[in-house]
Amino acid sequence: METKNADLAKILIVDDSRVFRSILEKVISTLPGVQVVGAVPSGLAAIEFLRIRAVDLMTLDVEMPELDGLQTLKKMLECKGELKAVPEVLMVSSLTRSGSDTTMKALECGAFDFIAKPPPEAPNSQESLSRMLHTAITGWLSRRSRGIRHTPTARPAAGGATVASSTSPTGFTYSLAKGNVFTKPIMAIVMGVSTGGPKSLADMLPKLCTLTHLPILLVQHMPPNFTKSLADSLALKCAHNVVEGLPGTVVKDKTIYIAPGGNHMTVRTRGAEFVLENNQDPPENGCRPAVDVLFRSAALAYPPDSLIGVILTGMGCDGTPSLPSLKNKNAYLIAQDEETSVVFGMPRAAAATGLLHKVAPLMRVPEAIVERINMGKK
Q: Which residues are known to be catalytic?
A: 194, 221, 318
DSSP letter assigned to residue 225: T
- For residues 93 and 69, give the distance between their C-alpha atoms in angstroms, rounded to a whole number: 9
The type of residue at 297 is S
Phi, psi (deg, nearest 5) at residue 89: -125, 130
DSSP letter assigned to residue 118: P
CA-nearest of 194, 163, 375, 213 to 292 is 194
DSSP string, 322-368: THHHHHHTT-EEEEE-TTT-SSBSHHHHHHTTT--SEEE-GGGHHHH
* Sign of the CA dihedral running 102, 103, 105, 109: positive
Kindly calculate the radius of gyration of the chain based on its CA atoms and give it in whole angstroms: 21
- For residues 143 and 149, give the distance between their C-alpha atoms in angstroms, rounded to a whole number: 7
- For residues 104 and 6, give the distance between their C-alpha atoms in angstroms, rounded to a whole number: 33
Whether 316 contacts 197, CB under 8 Å: no
Task: List, in order, residues 6 or more apart from 181 with CB less than 8 Å away.
Answer: none
Q: How many CB atoms lie within 10 A of CB 30?
A: 10
- For residues 80 and 179, give the distance between their C-alpha atoms in angstroms, rounded to a whole number: 51
Whether 89 contacts 109, CB under 8 Å: no
**H-type alpha helices, the chain:** 18-29, 43-52, 69-78, 97-108, 125-145, 197-211, 226-235, 291-301, 323-328, 346-351, 365-375
